[in-house]
Structure 1
Amino acid sequence: MAAITAALVKELREKTGVGMMDCKKALAETDGDFEAAVDWLRKKGLSKAAKKADRVAAEGLVAVATDGGKGAVVEVNSETDFVARNETFQAAVAEIATLTMTAGSDVETIKAATMASGETVESGLTNLIATIGENMSLRRAATVEANPGVVSSYVHNPAADGLGAIGVLVGLKSEGDAGKLAELGRKIAMHVAAGSPAVAVAIDVDGVDAEIANKEREVFADQARQSGKPEQIIEKMVEGRMRKFYEEVVLLKQAFVMDPDNTIEQVLANASKELGTSVELTGFVRMALGEGVEKKEEDFAAEVAAATGQS
């Protein structure tokens, strides 16, 4: 039997695009014969999966999972929305979200986590690619905690329980009634999902990136100076526009979509009075499927013409 070195495993991975563990297993099964290992992987359908890795995967599912004061949301992409309706794919994505609550938000750590089947998340996705025939990838993940308290979730237009195109987590730290906190958190999560009047980027004003805030202030100042008004007036105009800016991008400053007369901050203050204890927003995440992924535009008519030899 030929020695199975790290270099040989690396070479096999580079040629086939298959994960390290599967390459090592292939070499072990073929007594270190490189070409036989390539064939072994092909027969298992794994190298077939690797060939799909360069395809754009911008569809798929966002999944949420919560357990008391912990919550996780993940995005697992596929090439078409058809796969999102596949029950095997749905079950895998839901399990990955659950594992993320323990593994944390680092994608590589999640990939190394062990699924109920005994395989890693990375191997599980590779096998799904081979079985279903589409490229898939765990794109990103996030977690929210509230201790003591609850993490609530909301999925917009769910494809299945906890699975859909937009997933939101909201953490509420409080010693109040867990059921009422969960209900309030879900309503705030629905507000975040709606993105009204704008998608929030921070919990409070201090959480807004200073560079972004300074850039907005500069733009507002330049616009105000065009009015020809005195500097002291310009300063007041800028402050007024900055308040409006924060009302749009800071969650606590936004008007609650279900009760526009109150901000989220006021809603939490009212909840604190009702529950007899403080209610604090510890964090939130809004994850929409395919955000920032450049989708390949297909010219279907041209594709058919090319396939039939027509010009």
Structure 2
Amino acid sequence: MMAALCGALRAKLLSWQQAGLFHSGVRLLADKDLLVKLRKKTGYSFVNCKKALDKFSNDSKQAEAWLNEQAQKEGWSKASKLQGRKTSEGLVGLLQEGNTAVMVEVNCETDFVARNMKFQQLVQQVAVGTLRHCQGREQNLSTYLKGFLGGEELLQLKTDSEDSLLKDQLALAIGKLGENMTMRRAVWVMASSDIFIGSYLHGAFPTDLPSVSNMVFGKYGALVMGQTADRNLKGSVSELGRRLGQHVVGMSPLSVGSLEDLPGGEMETRMLAQSFLLEPSLTVGQYVQPHGVSVLDFVRFECGEQTEPTDAS
């Protein structure tokens, strides 16, 4: 009878093994601490994180790589299905490092997703990729250089780690958040030491996003390039640049103009002839002239605005 029982047990174990429920090797269950850490790091569901850890016997690195691979496949599939859906929301991201600044616009379908940390992380990756792109150019600056990148150029940029292209990160974000997204445009500015880059972002909000502390997000942004011969102004030039950027965002000038321009009223589009947003009794030209500041150029981004295509540089 014992022999018959042992035979039946062996047959049962064999059937389990053939069904994949048992194998002769050691199978580890997902470690709870590793599961929590993988979930926090990647943002994927506990079910998928557990599946990945089980699949690779608690090897977190292999599990994470597999999760990203699966998400990217799903992301490309979703991106194909969602293509053509309107992306009128999103964020403008501004990143400044020394005398180099970049401003980018990334779009999505809803403001709810625009406030999601995963979407903000995508905007940050676009900004960092643009910054590295312009810093990789040969430079011999006497004043400043400015360049624009369109959506197709942005997709081909490498991420900060250079492990993948931005288009791959876009697919991942679409796979995670389930909305259509587009990398719309970017501008970069590099300036010599005697040129200042003022920056301002409107509608900015706090974020817990790690890695890049000087990255800010909002709905409107401006960069203003200027020059001053007043050495005493050097310490406060960032505040003056911020004020000029605030004017550009609020008043939407179309050109810089010159100090000789006469004020043209409410419909004036030349920046120096416009009433200064923060001191309406003065024009911008009248405001900057006593400070010995020359406004050279500016760029304004408004999230979702309709614009003419800009040549890339």
CA displacement, residues 243-270 of structure 1 (integer Å, 9 cap, x when unaligned)? 6269710001111111222211122211
Alignment-mate amino acid for residue 81 of structure 1 = D
| CA-CA distance at 1:102 after TM superposition | 4.2
Q: Distance in 2 between matches of 1:271 and 1:77?
A: 38
RMSD: 2.8
Alignment of 1:262-273 (within 5 A): 262-272=282-292
- Whether 1:204 and 2:257 are equivalent positions in the alignment is yes
Alignment-mate amino acid for residue 157 of structure 1 = G
Contact 1:246 1:253 in 2 (8 A): no
Alignment of 1:1-311 (within 5 A): 44-103=74-133, 104-107=147-150, 108-117=152-161, 118-147=163-192, 148-160=194-206, 162-174=216-228, 176=231, 177-195=233-251, 199-204=252-257, 244=264, 248-272=268-292, 279-292=293-306
Contact 1:59 1:81 in 2 (8 A): yes
CA displacement, residues 26-82 of structure 1 (integer Å, 9 cap, x when unaligned)? xxxxxxxxxxxxxx8995442122211111111010111122332221110001111
Specify whether residues 135 and 179 from structure 1 end up closer, same or farther in structure 2 by C-alpha distance, changes over 3 A only: farther
| CA-CA distance at 1:282 after TM superposition | 2.2
Q: Distance in 2 between matches of 1:45 and 1:145?
A: 35
Contact 2:101 2:189 in 1 (8 A): yes
Q: What secondary structure does 2:148 align onto?
A: coil
| CA-CA distance at 1:101 after TM superposition | 3.3
Contact 1:200 1:249 in 2 (8 A): yes
CA displacement, residues 165-213 of structure 1 (integer Å, 9 cap, x when unaligned)? 1111111223544431111000111111222xxx20001169xxxxxxx
Q: Which runs of 4+ in 1 moved over 6 A?
A: none
Shifted more, 168-177 versus 259-268: the winner is 168-177
Contact 1:41 1:47 in 2 (8 A): no
Q: Distance in 2 between matches of 1:264 and 1:101?
A: 30
Specify whether residues 45 and 261 from structure 1 end up closer, same or farther in structure 2 by C-alpha distance, changes over 3 A only: closer
Shifted more, 42-51 versus 156-165: the winner is 42-51
Q: What secondary structure does 2:304 align onto?
A: coil
Q: Distance in 2 between matches of 1:248 and 1:101?
A: 33
Contact 1:145 1:283 in 2 (8 A): no
Identity, in percent, stands at 33
| CA-CA distance at 1:119 after TM superposition | 1.3
Specify whether residues 79 and 260 from structure 1 end up closer, same or farther in structure 2 by C-alpha distance, changes over 3 A only: same
Contact 2:263 2:273 in 1 (8 A): no
Q: Which runs of no fewer than 5 residues in structure 1 stay unpaired? A: 1-39, 207-239, 273-278, 294-311
Contact 1:72 1:142 in 2 (8 A): yes
| CA-CA distance at 1:151 after TM superposition | 1.1
Q: Which has the larger radius of gyration?
A: 2
